[in-house]
A and B are shown apart, each in its own frame.
Chain A
Amino acid sequence: MASQTNENRVSKIALLGLMIAVAFVLSWLEVQVSFVLPVPGMKLGLTNLAVIIALYMLGWKEAFFINMVRILLVSVTFGSMFSLIYSLAGGILSTVVMILLKRYTRLSITVISAFGGVTHNIGQIITAMILLETKQIGYYFAVLWLTGVITGTVIGILGGEVVKHIPKQYFLKKSLTKPKR
Protein backbone atom coordinates (compact mmCIF):
# COMPACT_ATOMS: atom_id res chain seq x y z
CA MET A 1 0.00 0.00 0.00
CA ALA A 2 2.77 2.39 0.95
CA SER A 3 4.69 1.63 -2.21
CA GLN A 4 1.48 2.21 -4.15
CA THR A 5 1.15 5.79 -2.87
CA ASN A 6 4.83 6.35 -3.40
CA GLU A 7 4.54 5.18 -6.96
CA ASN A 8 1.60 7.54 -7.42
CA ARG A 9 3.62 10.43 -6.08
CA VAL A 10 6.51 9.71 -8.38
CA SER A 11 4.32 9.30 -11.42
CA LYS A 12 2.51 12.52 -10.50
CA ILE A 13 5.77 14.45 -10.32
CA ALA A 14 6.94 12.91 -13.60
CA LEU A 15 3.65 13.71 -15.33
CA LEU A 16 3.60 17.28 -14.03
CA GLY A 17 7.14 17.84 -15.29
CA LEU A 18 6.28 16.30 -18.62
CA MET A 19 3.17 18.44 -19.05
CA ILE A 20 5.01 21.63 -18.07
CA ALA A 21 7.65 20.78 -20.68
CA VAL A 22 4.97 20.17 -23.30
CA ALA A 23 3.20 23.43 -22.42
CA PHE A 24 6.51 25.30 -22.55
CA VAL A 25 7.41 23.95 -25.99
CA LEU A 26 3.93 24.74 -27.29
CA SER A 27 4.29 28.30 -25.94
CA TRP A 28 7.60 28.62 -27.74
CA LEU A 29 5.98 27.43 -30.96
CA GLU A 30 3.19 29.92 -30.37
CA VAL A 31 5.66 32.79 -30.02
CA GLN A 32 7.41 31.70 -33.24
CA VAL A 33 4.27 31.82 -35.34
CA SER A 34 2.40 34.67 -33.66
CA PHE A 35 3.96 37.45 -35.75
CA VAL A 36 2.30 36.19 -38.94
CA LEU A 37 -1.14 36.66 -37.39
CA PRO A 38 -2.87 39.84 -38.53
CA VAL A 39 -4.24 41.04 -35.21
CA PRO A 40 -2.04 41.90 -32.23
CA GLY A 41 -2.92 39.68 -29.30
CA MET A 42 -4.24 36.97 -31.57
CA LYS A 43 -3.16 33.56 -30.38
CA LEU A 44 -3.42 30.05 -31.67
CA GLY A 45 -3.93 28.86 -28.12
CA LEU A 46 -1.64 25.90 -28.62
CA THR A 47 -0.71 25.92 -24.95
CA ASN A 48 -4.28 25.25 -24.10
CA LEU A 49 -3.73 21.78 -25.48
CA ALA A 50 -1.44 20.96 -22.57
CA VAL A 51 -3.83 22.53 -20.07
CA ILE A 52 -6.90 20.72 -21.35
CA ILE A 53 -5.09 17.37 -21.43
CA ALA A 54 -3.85 17.99 -17.89
CA LEU A 55 -7.36 18.88 -16.82
CA TYR A 56 -8.67 15.51 -17.93
CA MET A 57 -5.66 13.36 -17.08
CA LEU A 58 -4.35 14.90 -13.89
CA GLY A 59 -7.07 17.02 -12.33
CA TRP A 60 -7.94 20.66 -11.93
CA LYS A 61 -5.30 21.70 -9.40
CA GLU A 62 -2.60 20.17 -11.55
CA ALA A 63 -3.92 21.84 -14.72
CA PHE A 64 -3.94 25.22 -12.99
CA PHE A 65 -0.47 24.68 -11.54
CA ILE A 66 0.95 23.65 -14.93
CA ASN A 67 -0.48 26.73 -16.60
CA MET A 68 0.87 29.09 -13.93
CA VAL A 69 4.36 27.60 -14.08
CA ARG A 70 4.23 27.69 -17.86
CA ILE A 71 3.25 31.39 -17.91
CA LEU A 72 6.03 32.34 -15.48
CA LEU A 73 8.63 30.35 -17.43
CA VAL A 74 7.57 31.74 -20.79
CA SER A 75 7.47 35.35 -19.57
CA VAL A 76 10.93 35.04 -18.08
CA THR A 77 12.29 33.40 -21.23
CA PHE A 78 10.62 35.18 -24.15
CA GLY A 79 8.46 37.90 -22.70
CA SER A 80 8.32 41.06 -20.71
CA MET A 81 6.46 42.38 -17.68
CA PHE A 82 3.62 43.34 -19.99
CA SER A 83 3.33 39.94 -21.59
CA LEU A 84 3.33 38.41 -18.12
CA ILE A 85 0.32 40.50 -17.08
CA TYR A 86 -1.55 39.69 -20.31
CA SER A 87 -0.76 36.00 -20.09
CA LEU A 88 -1.75 35.82 -16.45
CA ALA A 89 -5.07 37.55 -17.09
CA GLY A 90 -5.91 35.32 -20.03
CA GLY A 91 -4.47 32.16 -18.52
CA ILE A 92 -6.11 32.43 -15.10
CA LEU A 93 -9.52 33.37 -16.51
CA SER A 94 -9.61 30.63 -19.13
CA THR A 95 -8.27 27.94 -16.83
CA VAL A 96 -10.75 28.80 -14.07
CA VAL A 97 -13.63 28.84 -16.56
CA MET A 98 -12.63 25.46 -17.97
CA ILE A 99 -12.22 23.96 -14.51
CA LEU A 100 -15.66 25.19 -13.45
CA LEU A 101 -17.32 24.03 -16.66
CA LYS A 102 -15.78 20.60 -16.35
CA ARG A 103 -16.79 20.29 -12.73
CA TYR A 104 -20.32 21.62 -12.84
CA THR A 105 -21.57 20.92 -16.35
CA ARG A 106 -21.61 17.88 -18.58
CA LEU A 107 -20.26 19.70 -21.60
CA SER A 108 -17.89 17.95 -23.99
CA ILE A 109 -14.14 18.55 -24.01
CA THR A 110 -14.48 20.39 -27.32
CA VAL A 111 -17.01 22.87 -25.95
CA ILE A 112 -15.05 23.40 -22.76
CA SER A 113 -11.93 24.11 -24.79
CA ALA A 114 -13.86 26.53 -27.02
CA PHE A 115 -14.97 28.43 -23.90
CA GLY A 116 -11.36 28.38 -22.74
CA GLY A 117 -10.22 29.89 -26.04
CA VAL A 118 -12.80 32.68 -25.86
CA THR A 119 -12.22 33.55 -22.22
CA HIS A 120 -8.45 33.55 -22.73
CA ASN A 121 -8.75 36.22 -25.41
CA ILE A 122 -11.40 38.14 -23.46
CA GLY A 123 -9.16 38.22 -20.40
CA GLN A 124 -6.30 39.59 -22.45
CA ILE A 125 -8.38 42.23 -24.17
CA ILE A 126 -9.96 43.44 -20.93
CA THR A 127 -6.46 43.78 -19.51
CA ALA A 128 -5.40 45.68 -22.62
CA MET A 129 -8.42 47.97 -22.22
CA ILE A 130 -7.42 48.76 -18.65
CA LEU A 131 -3.70 49.18 -19.41
CA LEU A 132 -3.81 51.00 -22.73
CA GLU A 133 -7.25 52.68 -22.84
CA THR A 134 -7.28 52.07 -26.59
CA LYS A 135 -10.33 53.25 -28.49
CA GLN A 136 -10.22 50.69 -31.26
CA ILE A 137 -10.36 47.77 -28.89
CA GLY A 138 -13.98 47.03 -29.74
CA TYR A 139 -13.05 45.87 -33.17
CA TYR A 140 -10.37 43.57 -31.81
CA PHE A 141 -12.86 42.23 -29.31
CA ALA A 142 -15.05 40.70 -32.02
CA VAL A 143 -12.09 39.32 -33.96
CA LEU A 144 -10.46 37.83 -30.88
CA TRP A 145 -13.77 36.36 -29.73
CA LEU A 146 -14.14 34.54 -33.07
CA THR A 147 -10.54 33.33 -33.25
CA GLY A 148 -10.86 32.19 -29.63
CA VAL A 149 -13.88 30.05 -30.45
CA ILE A 150 -12.28 28.55 -33.54
CA THR A 151 -8.84 27.80 -32.12
CA GLY A 152 -10.41 26.61 -28.87
CA THR A 153 -12.62 24.18 -30.75
CA VAL A 154 -9.73 22.81 -32.81
CA ILE A 155 -7.60 22.42 -29.68
CA GLY A 156 -10.53 20.75 -27.94
CA ILE A 157 -10.91 18.18 -30.73
CA LEU A 158 -7.15 17.52 -30.71
CA GLY A 159 -7.06 17.28 -26.92
CA GLY A 160 -10.04 14.93 -26.95
CA GLU A 161 -8.25 12.62 -29.38
CA VAL A 162 -5.09 12.63 -27.26
CA VAL A 163 -6.91 11.91 -24.02
CA LYS A 164 -9.00 9.20 -25.70
CA HIS A 165 -5.89 7.34 -26.77
CA ILE A 166 -4.09 7.51 -23.45
CA PRO A 167 -4.84 4.35 -21.46
CA LYS A 168 -6.85 4.92 -18.31
CA GLN A 169 -4.07 3.50 -16.14
CA TYR A 170 -1.99 6.64 -16.79
CA PHE A 171 -4.73 8.89 -15.48
CA LEU A 172 -3.71 10.24 -12.12
CA LYS A 173 -6.88 9.58 -10.18
CA LYS A 174 -9.54 6.94 -10.41
CA SER A 175 -12.19 9.64 -10.29
CA LEU A 176 -11.01 11.18 -13.55
CA THR A 177 -13.04 9.98 -16.44
CA LYS A 178 -12.58 9.94 -20.16
CA PRO A 179 -14.02 13.13 -21.63
CA LYS A 180 -17.26 13.24 -23.51
CA ARG A 181 -16.88 14.46 -27.01
Chain B
Amino acid sequence: MSDKKKSIVIISALVLIGVVFLVVMNLLKQKGTTVIVRIDGTEQGQYQLDQDQVVDIIAGEGAKNKLRIENGQAQMIEADCPDQICVNHSSISHVGESIICLPHKVVVEIAAGADSADTMGGIDGIAN
Protein backbone atom coordinates (compact mmCIF):
# COMPACT_ATOMS: atom_id res chain seq x y z
CA MET B 1 0.00 0.00 0.00
CA SER B 2 1.37 3.40 -0.91
CA ASP B 3 1.92 6.00 1.79
CA LYS B 4 -0.84 8.16 0.43
CA LYS B 5 -3.33 5.31 0.45
CA LYS B 6 -2.28 4.38 3.98
CA SER B 7 -2.88 7.97 5.11
CA ILE B 8 -6.32 8.04 3.56
CA VAL B 9 -7.23 4.74 5.23
CA ILE B 10 -6.08 5.90 8.67
CA ILE B 11 -7.84 9.25 8.44
CA SER B 12 -11.02 7.58 7.18
CA ALA B 13 -10.83 5.23 10.15
CA LEU B 14 -10.56 8.21 12.52
CA VAL B 15 -13.58 9.85 10.87
CA LEU B 16 -15.50 6.59 11.12
CA ILE B 17 -14.75 6.28 14.84
CA GLY B 18 -16.06 9.84 15.29
CA VAL B 19 -19.25 9.04 13.39
CA VAL B 20 -19.77 5.90 15.51
CA PHE B 21 -19.36 8.03 18.65
CA LEU B 22 -21.90 10.49 17.30
CA VAL B 23 -24.44 7.76 16.50
CA VAL B 24 -23.98 6.05 19.87
CA MET B 25 -24.36 9.36 21.71
CA ASN B 26 -27.56 10.09 19.82
CA LEU B 27 -28.95 6.65 20.64
CA LEU B 28 -28.08 7.06 24.32
CA LYS B 29 -29.89 10.38 24.54
CA GLN B 30 -32.57 10.23 27.14
CA LYS B 31 -36.07 11.45 26.37
CA GLY B 32 -37.04 14.10 28.87
CA THR B 33 -40.36 14.35 30.69
CA THR B 34 -40.44 17.90 32.02
CA VAL B 35 -40.04 21.32 30.47
CA ILE B 36 -38.60 23.92 32.82
CA VAL B 37 -39.02 27.61 31.99
CA ARG B 38 -36.68 30.09 33.62
CA ILE B 39 -36.55 33.85 33.27
CA ASP B 40 -33.30 35.48 34.32
CA GLY B 41 -32.40 32.38 36.27
CA THR B 42 -35.57 32.11 38.36
CA GLU B 43 -37.90 29.24 37.61
CA GLN B 44 -41.29 30.29 36.25
CA GLY B 45 -42.90 26.94 35.79
CA GLN B 46 -42.67 23.28 34.90
CA TYR B 47 -44.74 21.61 32.23
CA GLN B 48 -45.11 17.98 31.26
CA LEU B 49 -43.83 17.09 27.81
CA ASP B 50 -46.68 14.61 27.26
CA GLN B 51 -49.36 17.25 27.71
CA ASP B 52 -49.88 19.24 24.54
CA GLN B 53 -50.24 22.93 25.29
CA VAL B 54 -49.12 26.42 24.42
CA VAL B 55 -47.38 28.35 27.18
CA ASP B 56 -47.17 32.13 27.18
CA ILE B 57 -43.96 33.33 28.73
CA ILE B 58 -44.11 36.95 29.82
CA ALA B 59 -40.62 38.14 30.56
CA GLY B 60 -41.59 41.78 30.95
CA GLU B 61 -43.09 44.73 29.11
CA GLY B 62 -43.00 43.95 25.39
CA ALA B 63 -41.10 40.76 26.01
CA LYS B 64 -43.29 37.81 25.27
CA ASN B 65 -42.51 34.29 24.07
CA LYS B 66 -44.88 31.52 23.10
CA LEU B 67 -43.80 27.95 23.76
CA ARG B 68 -45.65 25.07 22.19
CA ILE B 69 -45.47 21.58 23.66
CA GLU B 70 -46.68 18.98 21.21
CA ASN B 71 -45.94 15.30 20.55
CA GLY B 72 -43.41 15.21 23.36
CA GLN B 73 -41.43 18.11 21.93
CA ALA B 74 -41.11 21.72 22.93
CA GLN B 75 -40.67 24.53 20.46
CA MET B 76 -40.70 28.30 20.64
CA ILE B 77 -43.29 29.44 18.13
CA GLU B 78 -43.39 33.15 18.79
CA ALA B 79 -41.13 35.81 20.25
CA ASP B 80 -41.31 39.56 19.94
CA CYS B 81 -37.57 39.98 19.93
CA PRO B 82 -35.65 41.17 16.89
CA ASP B 83 -33.27 38.26 16.41
CA GLN B 84 -35.80 35.37 16.44
CA ILE B 85 -33.01 32.92 17.23
CA CYS B 86 -35.17 31.00 19.68
CA VAL B 87 -38.00 30.70 17.15
CA ASN B 88 -35.63 29.32 14.54
CA HIS B 89 -34.20 26.85 17.05
CA SER B 90 -35.25 23.28 16.34
CA SER B 91 -37.66 21.63 18.79
CA ILE B 92 -36.21 19.99 21.89
CA SER B 93 -37.11 16.77 23.66
CA HIS B 94 -33.97 15.23 25.17
CA VAL B 95 -32.65 15.72 28.68
CA GLY B 96 -30.38 18.73 28.91
CA GLU B 97 -31.43 20.34 25.65
CA SER B 98 -32.46 23.96 25.86
CA ILE B 99 -33.78 26.90 23.92
CA ILE B 100 -32.42 30.24 25.00
CA CYS B 101 -33.89 33.63 24.19
CA LEU B 102 -31.07 35.97 25.13
CA PRO B 103 -32.85 39.33 24.74
CA HIS B 104 -35.61 38.23 27.15
CA LYS B 105 -33.32 36.11 29.33
CA VAL B 106 -35.67 33.20 28.87
CA VAL B 107 -34.32 29.67 29.13
CA VAL B 108 -36.44 26.66 28.28
CA GLU B 109 -34.84 23.40 29.33
CA ILE B 110 -35.75 19.73 29.23
CA ALA B 111 -35.33 17.74 32.42
CA ALA B 112 -35.74 14.05 33.17
CA GLY B 113 -38.29 14.73 35.86
CA ALA B 114 -35.56 14.61 38.44
CA ASP B 115 -37.68 16.74 40.77
CA SER B 116 -40.35 14.08 41.17
CA ALA B 117 -37.65 11.46 41.67
CA ASP B 118 -36.22 13.58 44.48
CA THR B 119 -39.63 13.84 46.08
CA MET B 120 -40.02 10.08 45.94
CA GLY B 121 -36.67 9.64 47.61
CA GLY B 122 -37.74 12.11 50.26
CA ILE B 123 -40.96 10.24 50.95
CA ASP B 124 -39.11 6.96 51.16
CA GLY B 125 -36.71 8.55 53.56
CA ILE B 126 -39.57 9.61 55.80
CA ALA B 127 -41.25 6.22 55.53
CA ASN B 128 -38.09 4.52 56.70
Contact = CB atoms under 8 A, between A and B. Distances in A.
B10 A107 contact: yes
Given A108-B3, A146-B19, A141 B14 contact: no
A114 interface: yes
B53 to A, nearest CB: 26
A104 interface: no
Interface stretch (B20-28, B59-67, B85-93, B118-126): B20-28
Interface string A66-98: 000000000000000000000000000000000
Contact of A146 (B3, B7, B22, B95): B22
Interface in B1-35: 3-4, 6-7, 10-11, 14-15, 17-19, 21-22, 24-25, 28-29
A114 B9 CA distance: 12
Interface string B65-76: 000000000000
Contacts of A181: 3-4, 7
Nearest to B24: A142
A149 B18 contact: yes
A138 B28 contact: yes
B96 interface: yes
Interface string A82-124: 0000000000000000000000000110110011001000000
Given A138-B25, A141-B25, A142-B25, A111 B18 contact: no
Q: Give the interface SS of chain A, mostly helix, strand, loop or mixed.
A: helix
Contacts of B6: 107-108, 111
B14 A118 contact: yes
Point out which of B14, B19, B28 has the most chain A C-beta atoms below 10 A from its C-beta. Answer: B14
B14 to A, nearest CB: 4
Interface in A143-157: 143, 145-146, 149-150, 153
A165 interface: no
A111 B22 CA distance: 21
A80 B37 CA distance: 32
Given A136-B96, A138-B28, A181-B3, A143 B22 contact: yes
Given A138-B28, A181-B4, A111 B21 contact: no
Contact of B14 (A136, A139, A143, A149): A149
A168 interface: no
A174 interface: no
Contacts of B22: 142-143, 146
Q: Give the top 9 A-B pairs by smallest Cβ distance, nearest first.
A: A142-B21, A146-B18, A142-B22, A145-B18, A108-B7, A149-B14, A136-B96, A111-B7, A111-B10
Interface of B: 3-4, 6-7, 10-11, 14-15, 17-19, 21-22, 24-25, 28-29, 95-96
